Copies of this chain bind each other. A is one copy, B any other.
Amino acid sequence: MQTKTQILERVKLNKPVLIEGLPGIGNVGRVAAGYLISELKMKKFAELYSHHFLPLVMLQEDGTASLLKCEFYYQKQNNLIILTGDTQSISPEGHYEVCEVILDLAEKMGVKEIITLGGFAEGKQVDEPRVVGAVNDKSLLKKYGKYGIDFGKEHPVGTVVGASGLLLGLGRSRGMDGLCLMGETFGLPLMTDPKAADRVLHVLSKVLGIKLDLTKLEKTIKGMEDRIRTTDKIHKSILEQIPKQGKEDQTGYIG
């Protein structure tokens, strides 16, 4: 098997925005993406499989088993594509390959703007989580400057590991603008942080100009808990394989 997308429905959109929320620290990106899909009643149109995912199937509660995958959802009204899924690549080379395959599909769909969602580990209790941002071109700072995103120098984020980072870097060379939104969180493994996801969604809804009712977020996360628990274990294994960074200042990020 190679890394490949499987199209479930042919969809035409007009320069859609691609939003990525895959498993990561505090599950911020994934939970935010899941909530958007549910609130905006988005529809799945493609799946991505890769030999760079863990070699296993996940068991659902009904006794069915399926390969690990990423999923693409769309909504015509707001011209949105959301990418979420069970896992990220387990090898460094695989990360690059998976992101290129994601961008191949995005390019075909006419995507010119990517927003990646994640958490960044603060290493301590966070009462009012900041949303730290990064862009893949200096000119975008002005565009995204009015939404309360922290682009400053005070935050401890030095690198963005995984899809949230690579989609920005690799997207640039395809002429795609990119914004990464990272919600501040404690960063304990296997602990979903609804508060950070709430903050990220709050900023995102303003960036997209979409009204979003965030009151059901905690309830929705509860409904995702079973699946999250299983993929958390998978994600934890992956995290353990990626070289630690910034250990000395108690931070780190993957999303």
Contact = CB atoms under 8 A, between A and B. Distances in A.
A160 B57 contact: yes
A155 to B, nearest CB: 9
Interface string A50-88: 011111111101111111000000000000000000000
A237 B244 contact: yes
A162 B64 contact: no
B166 A97 contact: no
A158 B231 CA distance: 9
A45 interface: no
A248 B131 CA distance: 32
Contact of A54 (B61, B92, B178): B92
Interface residues of A, number: 66
A243 B54 contact: yes
A56 B230 contact: no
Q: Secondary structure at chain A's binding surface: helix, strand, loop or mixed?
A: mixed
Given A57-B160, A93-B52, A136 B64 contact: yes
Nearest to A244: B237
A240 B56 CA distance: 16
A141 interface: yes
Given A51-B97, A57-B136, A64-B141, 4 more contacts: A54-B243, A55-B166, A57-B169, A62-B141
Closest 7 CB pairs of A and B: A237-B243, A55-B95, A63-B151, A67-B169, A51-B96, A57-B165, A65-B134
